[in-house]
Structures are given as C-alpha cells and as structure tokens.
C-alpha cells in the first residue's frame, strides 16, 4: 500500500480509539481475529511433532492477506473495561488449508529401437488383446460322505445358540456345489481313413462371374432345416474339395419348400446333381429342382391326401408324370442353348414329408444316381429302390426303316399301355442312321415307407452316397454321431456331412430326417 493508504487504514482501524457506540459484550471483530490467530499458532498441550519441534511454536503467525501489509509486531491494546460478556459458544478452530500437491511429471519414455530421438512417440489409442471369454461353468452337487460303520455314531448336535448363523448350504437344504469349467465343443471338419485328403478342407477359389449372368452364381454352401409333425429335417449342400480348389461352381442343387398350412401341409426336399461333363451342369441342376417344386406346388393338395390315405398307386403314377414333365423341360432348355440333351441334364431325387403328426409315411421319388439310407438300431440300411432289368437291345427302333412288328407281339404291355404302331400303314424307308441310338433314360424310382420312432432317413447325392457305400469308416462315424436321441443343430450337421474321405472330392448334398 501507499502511505496515503496506510494512514487511512490506521485512522479507520486505530485500536487505541474508543468504540463509537456502546457494546453489550466483548465479542468484537478484533477479539475473534485474535482468538483465531492464537488457535492457529499455539499448539495443543502434550503434543509432540514426529519429526522435531513444531516451528509454529516459536515463529510468529503470518498475517492474513486481507488484513494489512504492515508488520505484525504491533503490541496488543489493553483490554477495554466493559460489562461482563454473555456466555457464548466457543469458536470452532479452523484447520489450515491442505497444501496442493504438485503435478507428478510423466515418467520418461524409453527410446524405441529403430526410431530417431527427435521423432514423436505415438500418443493415439492402442489396441490390446481382448481378455479371454469366461468358459461356462456347471454346478455339480457334491454328495456327503457316507458314514463309516467302524466309527462311533455321531453325537446328537445341539441346537445352535441364539444369534448364530448357519451356512448357506445348510439353510437351503442342499449339498455343497463345485463349479467346473466345461469348454463348449466347436464343430470341426474331420476325416476318416489312413491319411488326410489332398485338398484343403476349406474353400479356396471362387468361380468366375460374368456380366449378365450374376443371377446364376451359386454359393459354396447351402444349409437349411425345419421341424414338422414328428420329424426334424436337416439339409446341407457343400461344394466338393476338387471344385473348391479349381474354382468351379457347385454342381449340386438343394431346394426345400413347404406347401399348404396346418396338418395338410407338405414339405418337399429336392436334390439335383449336374453332369460332370456339362459346363452348365449347375444351371441344369437348379432348373430341375425349381421345375419339380413348381409341379408339386400345383398338386400338393392331392398329393397330401394320397399320402395320408395310403394310396400308393396313385402317388407313384402322379409323381412319375410330374418327373417326366420336368425332364421334358430340361430337354427343351438344352435345345434352346444348342446343347445335346445329355449335356444339359441332372439326376433328381426328392422327399415328400407330410406335416400331419399322425402320418409317418415318407415318400421318395426321382431319377438318376444317389443313395437312400436308413439308420435303425445303430446300423445303416441301404433302402435304394431296385431297378428292373433292362431288355437286351438288338432290334432296330420301330419307324426307322424296320419291318413291321410280327403278329406275335402282344397288344398291351405289363403297365396296360396299348400298342398303336401296327396300324397296317406302309411307310417309306427312313434315312440311314450313322450314329448309335442313344440309351434310354434312366427309370423312375419310387419308394413309400413308414418310419419308426428313432429312425434316421438319409437322402444323399452321388458325392455323398459313394463314400457311404465305399468307406465303412464314414458310415460308422455318421452312425455314432447321429445315434443320439436329439438331432444335431445346423452347424453340427454341416460339420458331419463334411467328414472327408481320401479319394472322394465331389460335391456333397445330404438330407436327413430324424423321427421323434
């Protein structure tokens, strides 16, 4: 302060001047200030400092910043005689403010090898490995130890004292439990046989896609499932190891569909396998599945009634007509593409499953190779329908320059189809046929069977049926996996169908039905 300011301060706060007004007590501002100063400077009696004498006992108390800048050595004024003060509560001593800790300087960062000293260290967020997920625990009850007959009988326990706490297990009336960590099994693709297959177990190369044909791109794997009535359905179609390595599309096609509602509903599963020699085999397989599904959809009401009523003859003839129409469309599509009929074709195998819980009839039909198996009592049964023996070829085809049939030819076949070629009409000889006559189409296959509780029906494409018949280890492995009471989930079923065998690298498609 300046001198003018100091004189103003002395005039206003001159302690020797009498007070301007009468006071009823000695509780003044100066008295409170002096009391607070003594409380902060005088240490309490019988108090020793852990590190030595308290310097505050000898050093004068610092003056507050808002009091004055004059030296604090002025003598205290004599007490003013006043009336005895009224009893008041002693002032609460205030503790000095805690000192503010200085910020801790950051630890020096060690130099990073390969980095210059002037380069700034990375200060952004760092990514650390996530903590491992906790394994699920299973609480296993621990039974109490049985009493030893050689030991003395235990004394009767006295009731606990009042206020004593019993263990939680005793209060709950249960045996103590132990938490055991059980790892969750993860489906993995394995193999059977003496050595692993040559190709990798996972996809490698994708097929080539062309502009304008992206709708024809086929996925590597198709997985589906459902549950109707008393059966549980699992279906998977996987590209073969050979096609994965070469970047070829999957030639197998899988289609699952439901037609109708409630108990009259009908589930169709269609599996088609394209020819290996055909470049558009995957397209032919997809067309075969789509066209047979459209035909079944239009006739699903009649087909469902025939299955539940057990009309086997009507079922066989009706499904035979639908299959023939599908192959007729395949031949027409081959002509549109300028291909031979055998270059645009596929084997077709289907299952019909009624949704009625009271009906356990399972219907199989189709044309071409593959397999139909049944797992019963832990053993596989090959229930593929037997084909009739083909007649020996030798006589030329009627209508291509051959003589008219002899009178000994019967008028009707075993299927009651009337022969209409011998009409007595003379025809000119046809042109000479240089190429051999193509073999007849494969016969139609049909089977209707009644499932038993616990059965597992497997419909397989050629890529899965061949190792099932040729490698006993594969059949034994699948029997062990599927013999349980509960059907596997989708992921587990996919891993089961991919159990690999050396020498079998084609596409695999499997449809399994578990009977409750």
CATH number of the domain residue 292 falls in: 3.60.40.10
Q: Is residue 366 within 8 Å of residue 445, measured between CB atoms?
A: yes
Q: Give the whole-number percent of the chain exceeding pLDDT 70.
A: 54
pLDDT in tens, 313-365: 999 999 999 999 999 999 999 999 999 888 899 999 999 999 999 999 999 99
Please state, in angstroms and rounded to a whole number, the distance separating the CA atoms of residues 341 and 325. Answer: 14
Distance CA(110)–CA(118), nearest Å, equals 13
Structural domains in the chain (count)? 1
Per-residue pLDDT at 435: 52
Residue 192 bridge partners (DSSP): 501
> Does the residue 291 lie in any domain?
yes
Torsion on CA atoms 309, 311, 315, 318, rounded to nearest 10: -110
6 backbone dihedrals φ, ψ, rounded to 5°: -65, -40
The kind and range of the H/E element at 226 are strand 221-228
Q: Answer yes or no: is 493 within a domain.
A: yes
Tens digits of residue pLDDT in 274-295:
988 778 899 999 999 999 999 9
In this structure, how many other beta carbons lie within 10 angstroms of the beta carbon of residue 275? 18
With respect to residue 78, please indicate whether it lies within any of the assigned structural domains: no
The runs of H, that is alpha helices, within 105-240 are 168-172
Give residue 65's pLDDT.
45
What angle separates helix 312-336 from helix 300-309, to the nearest 10 degrees? 150
For position 387, what pLDDT does the model report?
A: 77
Q: How far apart are CA 230 and CA 135, in angstroms?
A: 35
> 164 lies in a domain?
no
Question: If we measure between CA atoms, which residue out of 188, 191, 201 comes closest to residue 500?
Answer: 191
Residue-wise pLDDT for 179-225, tens only, equals 666 565 666 667 777 767 777 778 888 988 888 888 889 999 999 99
Question: Global pTM?
Answer: 0.58
In a domain, 306, yes or no: yes
Residue 274 within any structural domain of the chain:
yes
Task: Please tell me the distance from the alpha carbon of residue 209 to that of residue 218, in angstroms, as a whole number.
Answer: 10
Which residues of the chain fall short of a pLDDT of 70? 1-29, 36-37, 39-189, 195, 388-441
Per the CB < 8 A criterion, the answer to whether 421 and 405 are in contact is yes
Query: Whole-angstrom distance between the N-terminal and C-terminal Cα of the chain?
Result: 102
Domain range for 446 is 220-383+442-515
Whether residue 398 is contained in a domain is answered as: no
4 in a structural domain? no
């Amino acid at each position: 302060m300046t001198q003018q300011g100091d004189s103003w301060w002395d005039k206003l706060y001159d302690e020797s001047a009498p007070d301007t007004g009468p006071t009823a007590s000695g509780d003044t501002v100066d008295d409170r200030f002096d009391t607070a100063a003594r409380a902060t400077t005088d240490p309490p009696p019988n108090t020793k400092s852990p590190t030595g004498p308290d310097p505050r006992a000898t050093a004068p108390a610092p003056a507050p910043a808002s009091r004055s800048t004059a030296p604090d050595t002025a003598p205290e004024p004599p007490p003013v005689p006043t009336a005895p003060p009224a009893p008041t509560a002693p002032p609460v001593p205030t503790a000095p403010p805690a000192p503010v800790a200085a910020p801790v300087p950051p630890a020096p960062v060690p130099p990073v090898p390969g980095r210059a000293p002037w380069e700034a260290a990375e200060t952004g967020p760092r990514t650390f490995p996530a903590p491992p997920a906790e394994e699920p625990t299973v609480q296993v009850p621990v039974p109490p130890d049985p009493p030893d007959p050689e030991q003395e009988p235990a004394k009767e326990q006295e009731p606990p004292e009042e206020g004593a706490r019993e263990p939680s297990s005793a209060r709950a009336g249960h045996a103590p439990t132990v938490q055991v960590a059980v790892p969750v099994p993860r489906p993995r693709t394995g193999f059977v046989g003496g050595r692993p297959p040559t190709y990798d177990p996972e996809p490698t190369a994708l097929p080539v896609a062309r502009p304008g044909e992206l709708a024809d791109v086929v996925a590597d794997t198709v997985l589906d499932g459902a549950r109707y009535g008393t059966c549980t359905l699992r279906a998977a179609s996987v590209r073969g190891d050979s096609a994965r390595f070469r970047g070829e599309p999957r030639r197998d096609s899988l289609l699952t569909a439901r037609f109708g509602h409630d108990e009259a509903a009908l589930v169709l599963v269609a599996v088609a396998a394209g020819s290996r020699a055909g470049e558009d085999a995957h397209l032919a397989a997809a067309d075969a599945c789509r066209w047979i599904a459209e035909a079944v959809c239009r006739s699903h009401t009649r087909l469902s009634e025939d299955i539940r009523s057990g009309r086997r003859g009507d079922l066989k003839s009706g499904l035979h007509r639908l299959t023939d129409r599908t192959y007729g469309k395949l031949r027409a599509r081959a002509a549109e593409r300028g291909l031979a009929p055998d270059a645009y074709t596929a084997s077709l195998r289907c299952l019909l499953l009624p949704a009625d819980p009271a009906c356990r009839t399972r219907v199989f039909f189709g044309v071409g190779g593959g397999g139909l198996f049944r797992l019963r009592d832990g053993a596989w049964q090959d229930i593929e329908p037997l084909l009739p023996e083909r007649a020996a070829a030798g006589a030329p085809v009627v209508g291509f320059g051959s003589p008219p049939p002899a009178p000994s030819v019967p008028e009707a076949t075993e299927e009651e189809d009337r022969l209409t070629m011998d009409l007595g009409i003379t025809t000119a000889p046809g042109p000479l046929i240089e190429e051999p006559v193509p073999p007849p189409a494969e016969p139609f296959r049909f089977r209707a069977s009644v499932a038993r509780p616990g059965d597992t029906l497997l419909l397989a494409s050629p890529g899965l049926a061949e190792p099932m018949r040729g490698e006993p280890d594969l059949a034994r492995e699948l029997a062990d996996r599927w013999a349980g009471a509960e059907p596997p989930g989708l992921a587990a079923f996919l891993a089961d169908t991919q159990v690999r065998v050396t020498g079998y690298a084609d596409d695999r498609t499997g449809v399994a039905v578990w009977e409750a």
